[in-house]
Amino acid sequence: MPLEVRPARVEDAELCASFTATGRDAEAFRAAFASDKEVWVVMSSESEGAIFGVAGCQLWRWNKVAWVMDLSVRRDRRGHGQGRVLLDALIAAAQRQGALVLMDFEPQGGQLIEFYLQNNFRICGFNDRYLPGTDDPSVVFLSRDL
């Protein structure tokens, strides 16, 4: 089934909020999609029509870095390479906005670390106090040159 990845639109907010891993609500998605400081893409299939993936990054124009804000695929659609397609679309969108590096962080041992490493990211830092007040405040920073 052919996949469609396109820029997110305000009317996509409700569906994106229904499956995002970040806990972002529809109003927060609407604001993010309308912002000139963030870039968002969504994924659907021709057969379903409904959105089942969303990815976005915040643009730091002063240093040309884009920080991943969300990379979520609906649970029933995971494990088929669609996260990689969504990540590639996010990278292309960030590059069009002038980003030279895409970065993210994950809790130590987080499941996305291996995903990012398989997609040409590298570990570029560690902070053992980044998430204070949690059981493990440590995070690993990852980056990919664009």
Please indicate, yes or no, whether residues 76 and 15 belong to a single structural domain of this protein.
yes
Q: In terms of pTM, does the model score above 0.75?
A: yes
How far apart CA 50 and CA 40 sit, in angstroms, is: 16
pLDDT (tens, 9 = 90+) of the chain, 146 residues, equals: 578 899 999 999 999 999 998 889 999 999 999 999 999 999 988 677 789 999 999 999 999 999 999 999 998 888 888 999 999 999 999 999 999 999 999 887 778 899 999 999 999 999 999 999 988 899 999 999 99
Q: Which residues contact 38 (CB under 8 A, 6 or more apart)?
A: 32, 56, 57, 58, 59, 69
3-state SS assignment for residue 106: strand
Between CA 82 and CA 32 the distance in angstroms is 22
Residue numbers of the domain that contains 78: 1-99
Output the pLDDT for position 50.
86
Going by C-alpha positions, the residue among 91, 108, 70 that lies closest to residue 144 is 91
| Whether 109 and 141 share a structural domain | yes
User: Do 23 and 10 sit in the same domain of this protein?
Assistant: yes
Q: Are 105 and 116 in contact (CB under 8 A)?
A: no
Evaluate whether 60 touches 28 at the Cβ level (below 8 Å).
no
